[in-house]
Amino acid sequence: MEPNDTVSPAGGPRPRPRGRTALIIAAAALLGISGGTAVGYGIQAQRPPTPLPTLAQPGLGYPAKPLPAGKAPAPLPASEDRQVRTDGDLRKLLVERPKGAKASSSHPRKGGE
């Protein structure tokens, strides 16, 4: 033996096995999730079905049968009707083309513009 070679009496500390702790934690998590699911399903399967609560709305927005033609409400005036804006030609609602923009040949506009 060389004078620089020293041997410890116990042979030194053993290296820790790698991945064993992670494997134990993963197994415990898997067992906990599957066990909790099984117990929850078993408890819920024994209970009778719970009826759904009634609607929060006291009455539906539509009548049970349509009104006769003479009793139908009058249509809203144009100042109160929000859908009047979108009736007719929708091109009026488009934003004008910026100055200096060139017309696209793939999307021709009607009216020669």
Q: Which is more confident, 65 or 23?
A: 23
CB 84, CB 78: distance < 8 Å: yes
pLDDT attached to residue 75: 84
Residue 111 banded pLDDT, cuts 50, 70, 90 = low
Q: How far apart are the first and last CA of the chain?
A: 100
Assess whether pLDDT exceeds 80 at residue 74. Answer: yes
Helices (H), the chain: 20-46
Residue whose token pair is 């910026």: 98
- Give the predicted TM-score (pTM) of the model: 0.34
Q: How far is CA 9 from the centre of its chain?
A: 64
Asked if 85 and 93 touch (Cβ cutoff 8 Å), the reply is: yes
* Residue ranges of domains in the chain: 19-46
pLDDT digits (tens, 9 = 90+) for 3-62: 555 555 566 788 777 788 899 999 999 999 999 999 999 999 999 988 887 777 666 677
What is the spatial distance between Cα 92 and Cα 84, in angstroms, rounded to a whole number? Answer: 13
